[in-house]
Chain A
Amino acid sequence: MKTITSTVKTTARALALLSTALAAPLAAQTLDLAWSQDATGLDPHTQPGFATIRLLELMYEPLVRLDEGLELQPALAESWSFSDDGLQLTFQLDGDAMFHDGTPVTSADVRASFERILDEETGAIARANYTSIINIETPDDATVVFELDAPNAPLLNGLASVNAAVVPASAIEAGTLGTEVIGSGPFTLDARTPNASANLSAFDAWHGGDVAYDGINISVLPDETALLAALRAGQADFALINDPLVATLVPRTEGLQLNTAPTLSYYVLQLNASREPMGELALRQAIGCAIDRQDVLDAALLGEGEVTGPLTSPAYRTDPSGLFCYEQDQDRARELLAEAGYADGFTATVIAANGEPPTASAVAQVIQSQLSEVGINLEIEMLELSVYIDRWLAADFDMAVALNGGRVDPYTMYNRYWTRDGNLQGVANYIDDTLDTLMIEGRAETDEAARAEIFGNFESHLAEMSPWIWLFTGNTYTAQTEGVSGFVSSPTGTLFGLVDVTLAE
């Protein structure tokens, strides 16, 4: 038996080597990229999925882009300015910008793109971020003026997203956005088989500069451990890794490098204040005091992350230890429980999604054991992702373990939950005047220092009211072989840094 398997393995190895030799490319330098989740579509305006955005960011461009320090950088626009009253935002386009079909990018394309995003028929995913745009003027081919209904400081950051990409007016006209890619970004799409592979070529006429290699071959390897195997065997030069458990194995492997960046998205225990007994402030605070956030992080994510308050963006993030009950205090938790009339504790159900993220069930279990020490009895309900989302959107839960997406600007990140007319206020199920007022002030304020103060107050009030228990942020991971150099990770998780990469011969 043993000889048979070793013969088979030798044969397999020989075949593998032979096929690699036969399929060796002719002098073209390509980056072999592997990831486990593939894009679910090609329309940049309607696709919110993490995996889809990673792909489309390499081919489409918004007006502005965020660098690894989350500072605004020019993309299609070379400069921008607000009018003094804050009601007009003017962009000057880069005159060299060109779409993959060779036509120049003009203000007409920008206007058509935003009219499409704002049209409710489109189902554009980020539409809510741009509804303050009431009119778009195009004085000449290189100038676009957005007229706003009120001053809106977060708008610029909101525009730095591939969900606000500029697409050719002709492609909108032809209705081809779902099936082919004509962007203005650094790579063109040559071929794609969903959930299997995609081939990208460097776009010679990209206005942003030259890419040092010829293209990217993307392979979808659904199993995260297979990503690691592909890197080891030299089949992939670069991989995007989601599972912290797999990521921690990378540095232990000779010749592989792990790139880590803290994410903006945050793990949180959402309490549903419309469900008894979570309506009681003292009881919600008790839950917060009973949890040891660092301990959950260490046990469920192998310590791969950082304890956080509600604000996760580097410009606003501060040391959370000053927030309400950020050090575990079980005595205080018991006092607060008694104050709420639940001295003997209570029983509640917590929902979490299977495998989304891979650490969700572990987080739920650690929280369950910590809360049991003060008499709170949690029942964990693991659900398939779409079922979880349905229940979550309907606020059909006592508590939920969630990994919610973050944004650079606190207003864009939280207005959906913590304003009176936020789209997801029905999911958050808690609001007070303080939160609503601070959010509205923060939206209109343009001075950075003043904004930091407003959102600092917002954060400490939110932590004290404990509608949710914020836990920690995780990391975004990429892994690369020695032949790859020059990639810089970003907290947004974007792979746009691949344009600066050079490959060893």
Chain B
Amino acid sequence: MKYLLGRLAVFPLVMLGVSVFVFVAIRLVPGDAITAMLGTEGGMLTPAQREALAAYFGLDQNWAVQYFRWLGGLFRGDLGISVTYGQPVLDIILERFPLTLQLALMSMVVALAIGLPAGVFAATRANKASDLIVRIFAMMGQSMPNFVVALLSIYILSVGFGVLPTMGRFVTFSEDPLGNLAQMILPSIALGTAFAAAVTRITRAAMMDILGEDYVRTARSQGFSQGYVIWRHALPNALIPVLTLSGVEFGYLLGGAVIVEQIFALPGLGRVVLDAILERDYALVQGVILFIAFNFMLVNLLVDLAYAALDPRIRYGGNA
């Protein structure tokens, strides 16, 4: 409990740090919303026109004023207005987040469904041919970027079969469950397979360690079956490193998967941030990055709590 409170106390401090960092970083990048909108045509503006636009975009105040205005809004739950969407930033985030969350969850399911069994399988057949085959696949999966998998799947479907899940017109799960899953399955596979490879390798390594431990050998010698020992004793312990890795990966996925979203034309958070940066939509960049940072910390906290639940040594102050 004390551990939890300590962790929670750090939250606001980190968020404040992130807010300052993002605010300054996006403004250090040359060009502003006017340049992004007008391009070289911006050179055609008269000084009065430029001033009017700067006032419209809120670029006429100094940074400190802009920051404290924004921070004041934050405490009232107002993340400001996006200049490119003409909508409150919070609305855009809440509209896009379900997609990102669904994509992250589906990718994790794909990764764990492939990675865990493959890792256990390889560990129990250590250094046999089948283990080698799994490891070669895992190496390939890890070294093939997810966007290559994405592009290949689109190419094969469109050229080979002349079909493609609808792209660019996203439907939510509640509107049309089948249509939604059809749109999400390829991106989930593209994101999931690369991570599945990492899960496979970690699971394999962790299982090999544990299968060599004393208590597993003891269990074996007492006549428990091989399967029982693996699934009942070894796997829960082997899950700890997998959980850590998955937590970090899940935190990343909640920040959106930019390239895969671009390829499949999914309106997730990753693309929102990318477009917002390119269009110098300051309020939107700040709001979304803050939201992503918050999610990342939350996921990390949950992982640490789960970790403690799985491994008693952590709960009792680490006197192993």
Which residues of A approach B to under 8 Å, CB–CB? 1, 8-9, 11-13, 15-20, 22-23, 34, 40-41, 46-49, 120-125, 127-128, 178-179, 193-197, 217, 219-223, 225-226, 228-230, 232-235, 385-387, 389-393, 404, 416, 423-424, 426-427
Q: Are A194 and B43 in contact (CB under 8 A)?
A: no
Which residue in B39, B44, B49 is a CB contact (below 8 Å) of A416? B44
Which chain A positions have C-beta within 8 A of B166? 16, 19-20, 23, 235
Q: Are A193 and B165 in contact (CB under 8 A)?
A: no
Chain A residue nearest to B168 (CB atoms) is A219
Beyond contacts A48-B37, A234-B162, A424-B44: 5 other A-B pairs, Cβ-Cβ < 8 A, are: A121-B52, A219-B167, A233-B157, A386-B30, A426-B43
The 9 A-B residue pairs with the shortest CB-CB distance, nearest first, are A219-B168, A386-B31, A19-B179, A15-B182, A233-B164, A229-B158, A120-B48, A196-B267, A123-B53
User: Given contacts A219-B265, A226-B265, are A393 and B42 in contact (CB under 8 A)?
Assistant: yes
Q: Are B168 and A196 in contact (CB under 8 A)?
A: yes
Chain A residue nearest to B177 (CB atoms) is A19
Which chain A positions have C-beta within 8 A of B53? 46, 123
Q: Are A219 and B49 in contact (CB under 8 A)?
A: no
1/0 per residue, CB under 8 A from A, across B270-312: the answer is: 0110010011100000000000000000000000000000000
**29 A-B residue pairs with CB within 8 Å:** A9-B153, A9-B157, A13-B157, A15-B182, A16-B182, A19-B176, A46-B37, A48-B39, A49-B37, A120-B48, A121-B48, A123-B56, A127-B46, A127-B49, A195-B272, A217-B169, A222-B263, A226-B154, A229-B154, A229-B155, A229-B157, A230-B167, A233-B157, A235-B164, A235-B166, A385-B39, A386-B36, A390-B31, A424-B43
Q: Min CB distance, A270 to chain B, in Å?
A: 11
Q: Are B40 and A386 in contact (CB under 8 A)?
A: no
Which chain B positions have C-beta within 8 A of A387? 29-31
Q: Min CB distance, A234 to chain B, in Å?
A: 7
Q: Min CB distance, B185 to chain A, in Å?
A: 5
Interchain CA distance A467-B38 in the complex, whole Å: 25
Interchain CA distance A255-B272 in the complex, whole Å: 34
Q: Are B165 and A197 in contact (CB under 8 A)?
A: no
Q: Min CB distance, A391 to chain B, in Å?
A: 8
B102 at the interface (CB under 8 A from A): no
Which chain B positions have C-beta within 8 A of A389? 31, 35, 39-40, 42
Interchain CA distance A16-B176 in the complex, whole Å: 12
Which chain B positions have C-beta within 8 A of A20? 166
Q: Min CB distance, A114 to chain B, in Å?
A: 16
B320 at the interface (CB under 8 A from A): no
Chain A residue nearest to B160 (CB atoms) is A9
Most chain A beta carbons < 10 A, residue from B43, B46, B170, B267: B43
Q: Are B185 and A123 in contact (CB under 8 A)?
A: no
B214 at the interface (CB under 8 A from A): no
Which chain B positions have C-beta within 8 A of A23? 166, 171, 176, 179
Q: Are B167 and A235 in contact (CB under 8 A)?
A: yes
Q: Min CB distance, A278 to chain B, in Å?
A: 20
B181 at the interface (CB under 8 A from A): yes
Chain B residue nearest to A356 (CB atoms) is B39
B151 at the interface (CB under 8 A from A): yes
Interchain CA distance A102-B182 in the complex, whole Å: 41
User: Given contacts A123-B49, A128-B44, are A225 and B31 in contact (CB under 8 A)?
Assistant: no
Q: Are B43 and A15 in contact (CB under 8 A)?
A: no
Interchain CA distance A34-B265 in the complex, whole Å: 11
Which chain B positions have C-beta within 8 A of A220? 168, 265
Q: Are A48 and B265 in contact (CB under 8 A)?
A: no
Interchain CA distance A228-B37 in the complex, whole Å: 28
B137 at the interface (CB under 8 A from A): yes
Which residue in A47, A123, A222 is a CB contact (below 8 Å) of B52? A123
Q: Min CB distance, B265 to chain A, in Å?
A: 4
Interchain CA distance A390-B33 in the complex, whole Å: 12
Q: Which of B247-284 contact A (CB under 8 A)?
A: 262-265, 267, 271-272, 275, 278-280
User: Given contacts A219-B169, A230-B164, are A179 and B157 in contact (CB under 8 A)?
Assistant: no
B238 at the interface (CB under 8 A from A): no
User: Given contacts A16-B165, A18-B178, are A48 and B267 in contact (CB under 8 A)?
Assistant: no
Q: Which of B177-212 contact A (CB under 8 A)?
A: 178-179, 181-183, 185-186, 189
Q: Are B176 and A197 in contact (CB under 8 A)?
A: no
Which chain B positions have C-beta within 8 A of A128? 44
Q: Are B161 and A13 in contact (CB under 8 A)?
A: yes
Q: Min CB distance, B112 to chain A, in Å?
A: 15
Which residue in A41, A393, A426 is a CB contact (below 8 Å) of B37? A41
Q: Min CB distance, B64 to chain A, in Å?
A: 23
B244 at the interface (CB under 8 A from A): no
Which chain A positions have C-beta within 8 A of B178? 15, 18-19, 22
B10 at the interface (CB under 8 A from A): no
User: Given contacts A12-B186, A34-B168, are A232 and B159 in contact (CB under 8 A)?
Assistant: yes
Q: Are A48 and B179 in contact (CB under 8 A)?
A: no
Which chain B positions have C-beta within 8 A of A195? 267, 271-272, 275
Which chain B positions have C-beta within 8 A of A427? 40, 43
Chain B residue nearest to A425 (CB atoms) is B43
Chain A residue nearest to B156 (CB atoms) is A9
Which chain B positions have C-beta within 8 A of A127? 44, 46, 49
Q: Are B52 and A122 in contact (CB under 8 A)?
A: yes
Interchain CA distance A232-B171 in the complex, whole Å: 22
Q: Are B84 and A194 in contact (CB under 8 A)?
A: yes
Which chain B positions have C-beta within 8 A of A179? 86
Which residue in A12, A178, A232 is a CB contact (below 8 Å) of B185? A12
Which chain B positions have C-beta within 8 A of A233? 157-158, 162-164
Chain B residue nearest to A423 (CB atoms) is B44
Which chain B positions have C-beta within 8 A of A193? 267
Q: Are B52 and A15 in contact (CB under 8 A)?
A: no
User: Given contacts A226-B154, A229-B158, A423-B43, are A390 and B84 in contact (CB under 8 A)?
Assistant: no
Interchain CA distance A391-B166 in the complex, whole Å: 41
Q: Are A226 and B165 in contact (CB under 8 A)?
A: no
Q: Are B48 and A222 in contact (CB under 8 A)?
A: no
Which chain A positions have C-beta within 8 A of B38? 48, 125
Q: Min CB distance, B206 to chain A, in Å?
A: 23
Interchain CA distance A15-B183 in the complex, whole Å: 9
